[in-house]
Structure 1
Amino acid sequence: MTAAAEPTTLLDRYRAYRVRRWLVREKQIAGMLPGWRTTRRRRTLVVITIAALGLMFLAGVLCAFGLGWAALLGGLAALVFLPAWTMVRIVADAQDNAPADTLDELEFAQRETARSLGLTITQVLAVFPVMYLVWSGALFPDADASRTAYAGGVMALATLLAGGCAPAMILAWTKSDPEPED
């Protein structure tokens, strides 16, 4: 008898390991935050996450104009973002990062669509901080380099996080309410 059921390549073994790890994680988060799994509450978490990312980007813009206190605003935004983002992932069942083997056809299609939108969001939004960094260096060579780098870095971080978080936020926003238990 051959061991055809067992993965043979490194990639196959990693894929199988990832599925096993995912199933354990899925069981861990399945019962978490039951009161936050309604459509209204999930959407509230998504709005809070977007607002925190927007505030982080705004902090970068304000720092670009020399307002040093805006760095505190960015820190506050990060403190709001982290728990909100964690909660979004939990109530969306973290399907944005689920292995393909654990999803049915509809969930797979929804995940791929959300990932595609996330990539588009990343590409569109990242243009702004990159152009700021390029043009500020070219047009204002005597500007404070550390302030320019910090401001551009915060703006870039906010845009990359927005694009990276977009798939989970899209899935959380569009997911239907859980079926009531009998």
Structure 2
Amino acid sequence: MTTAIGPKNLLERYEAYRIRRWLVREKQIAGMLPGWRTTRRRRALVITVVAALTLIFVAGVLCAFGLEWAALLGGAGALIFLPSWVMVRIVADSQDNAPAETLDELELARRETARSLGLTITQVLSVFPMMYLVWSGALFPETDAFRTAYAGGVMILATLLAGGCAPAMILAWTRSDPEPEN
């Protein structure tokens, strides 16, 4: 009888691959953006991400009222969001999606709390654009269907991004300053 050494099933092999990939990525980002790893700078990045997502959401609301130029605001929000979001993930050491085996007990507890809050944020914020999409067609059938769908889609995109980004933003906001190297 032969026994396999190492992971046996597909899920175990994938998890082992994920751990190896995350450890490589952790080494790559460990020295990146050292000046942005202070509490003040991390919080500024989180505020920038929140402002960009708010701008995207507001663009959706303005488009719902027929202001076509507001789509440019959504584009500007996306241009602000992308680099600031990447920076937040780097300074938070991507712990929001780290495999559990790579975190200690405290880091794992913080990550799980942040993920739980992220899910709550997603559920709460997504209700409003969903209600808009469901009820706008029923209550105002004369409105432009394309405009309604676009505006609702932009608002839902902003709320889903907010909830999905929330764990990393929470971890970046609450993390203590790194120990000074001697």
TM-score normalized by the length of structure 1: 0.98
Superposed CA RMSD: 1.2
The equivalent of 2:87 in structure 1 is: 87
The equivalent of 2:50 in structure 1 is: 50
Gaps of 5+ in 1: none
> How far has the Cα of 1:3 moved from its partner?
5.5
The equivalent of 1:112 in structure 2 is: 112
Deviation beyond 6 Å, 4+ runs, structure 1: none
The whole-number CA distance in structure 1 between the counterparts of 2:35 and 2:140 is 51
The equivalent of 1:70 in structure 2 is: 70
Give the letter aligned to residue 135 of structure 1. Answer: W
Which stretch of structure 1 is more off in the superposition, 77-86 or 4-13? 4-13
The whole-number CA distance in structure 2 between the counterparts of 1:159 and 1:179 is 35
Is 1:100 matched up with 2:100?
Answer: yes
Give the letter aligned to residue 83 of structure 1. Answer: P
> How far has the Cα of 1:9 moved from its partner?
0.9
> How far has the Cα of 1:80 moved from its partner?
0.1
Gaps of 5+ in 2: none
Secondary structure at the residue paired with 1:62? helix
The whole-number CA distance in structure 1 between the counterparts of 2:4 and 2:106 is 28
The equivalent of 1:121 in structure 2 is: 121
The equivalent of 2:37 in structure 1 is: 37
Give the letter aligned to residue 14 of structure 1. Answer: Y
> How far has the Cα of 1:4 moved from its partner?
6.5
The whole-number CA distance in structure 1 between the counterparts of 2:46 and 2:154 is 21
The equivalent of 1:20 in structure 2 is: 20
Secondary structure at the residue paired with 2:181? coil
The whole-number CA distance in structure 2 between the counterparts of 1:165 and 1:35 is 22
> How far has the Cα of 1:45 moved from its partner?
0.1
The whole-number CA distance in structure 2 between the counterparts of 1:128 and 1:5 is 51
Secondary structure at the residue paired with 2:119? helix
Q: How many residues are aligned here?
A: 182
> How far has the Cα of 1:142 moved from its partner?
1.4
